[in-house]
């Protein structure tokens, strides 16, 4: 951190979407202009999980993923504040004096127009501006970002993924939405009756709607990548069951099967449906694979 202070932005940054990225760009540019340190203050857990757990949103990213994504945007000074009942009870002036000024030495604070803070969200951008005059920092409000008619927000991204529109969600995120986790044993049906798949166990809170998707799969340990198709659903052809995420790689593995993978969702192909037989399902999977191969031939990554 620069001895001169920081250009600070504050928020949850769930998903680190296009709006967040624009805000972080503004922070970087202003910090460079004034020879200050670009900095982010975020919270874990999400404040709503503490003050109103029944209304807490399903998160698009873990705190580790959020911090990594913020670092990728060129902001290395990230403070993760453990959000507790004590923090929730701070009035706006207490929060600003204790954390924004005394701990993070803010000279500028950049936030979105809907920013609220302090006990029962009693502070807003006008409050922050007034406190800035009192404590010696300048508040700047950064306009929201729109893409393809959508006002970019974490809730908008969540809505699109819930509906299966992963392509538009990717536009709002400025990257594909991905699920990560460990590869686990399936029921053994695929390798015997249809096609072999990688079965993903994930702790992600937001799962794309049931259906078949064109995806890209990455080995989190080796970095190897494969073009793929992925089914999210309950395997109705085989009697249903728990929700599963099964990925079929479009090229052969050259080595051992991956242990940990990330599956990036690029485009929805079709709904999940019941087939009259495993053979009919296999035939459809191979047609889906053909559509995916056509997609990848047209798109350069």
Rounded-to-10 torsion of CA 212, 69, 183, 213: 10
Burial (Cβ within 10 Å: 0-12, 13-18, ≥19) of residue 23: buried
Distances 3 to 31, 105, 142, 200 between C-alpha atoms, Å:
13, 9, 25, 46
**pLDDT values of the chain reduced to their tens digit, one per residue, 301 residues:** 666 899 999 999 999 999 999 999 999 999 999 999 999 999 999 999 999 999 999 999 999 999 999 999 999 999 999 999 999 999 999 999 999 999 999 999 999 999 999 999 999 999 999 999 999 999 999 999 999 999 999 999 999 999 999 999 999 999 999 999 999 986 544 444 346 789 999 999 999 999 999 999 999 999 999 999 999 998 755 555 689 999 999 998 888 889 999 999 999 999 988 878 888 888 998 999 999 999 999 986 5
Which bin fits 81, alpha (ψ -120 to 50), beta or left (φ > 0)?
Answer: beta
Predicted confidence at residue 189, as pLDDT, reads 47
**Residues facing 83 on adjacent strands:** none
Written as six digits, the tokens of 242 are 């728990």
Helix (H, G, I), strand (E, B) or coil at 72: helix
Task: Write down the pTM of the prediction.
Answer: 0.91
């Amino acid at each position: 951190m620069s001895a001169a202070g920081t250009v600070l932005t504050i928020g949850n940054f769930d998903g680190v979407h296009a709006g967040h990225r624009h805000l972080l760009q503004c922070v970087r540019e202003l910090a460079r202009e004034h020879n200050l340190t670009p900095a982010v203050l975020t919270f874990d857990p999400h404040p709503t999980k503490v003050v109103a757990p029944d209304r807490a949103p399903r998160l698009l990213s873990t705190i580790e993923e959020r911090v990594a994504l913020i670092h990728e945007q060129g902001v290395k000074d990230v403070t993760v504040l453990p959000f507790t009942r004590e923090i929730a009870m701070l009035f706006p002036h207490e929060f600003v004096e204790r954390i924004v000024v005394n701990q993070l030495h803010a000279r500028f604070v950049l936030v979105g127009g809907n920013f609220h803070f302090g006990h029962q969200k009693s502070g807003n951008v006008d409050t922050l501006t007034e406190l800035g005059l009192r404590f010696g920092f300048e508040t700047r409000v950064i306009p929201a970002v729109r893409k393809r008619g959508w006002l970019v927000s974490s809730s908008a991204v969540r809505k699109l993924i819930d509906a299966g529109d992963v392509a538009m969600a990717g536009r709002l995120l400025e990257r594909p939405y991905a699920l990560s986790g460990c590869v686990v044993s399936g029921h053994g049906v695929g390798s015997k009756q249809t096609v072999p798949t990688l079965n993903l166990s994930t702790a992600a809170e937001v799962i794309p709607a049931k259906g078949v998707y064109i995806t890209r799969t990455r080995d989190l340990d080796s970095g190897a990548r494969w073009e793929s198709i992925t089914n999210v659903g309950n395997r109705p052809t085989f009697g249903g069951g728990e929700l599963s995420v099964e990925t079929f790689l479009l090229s052969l593995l050259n080595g051992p099967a991956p242990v940990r993978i990330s599956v990036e969702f690029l485009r929805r192909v079709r709904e999940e449906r019941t087939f009259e037989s495993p053979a009919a399902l296999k035939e459809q999977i191979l047609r889906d694979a053909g559509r995916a191969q056509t997609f990848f031939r047209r798109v350069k990554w």
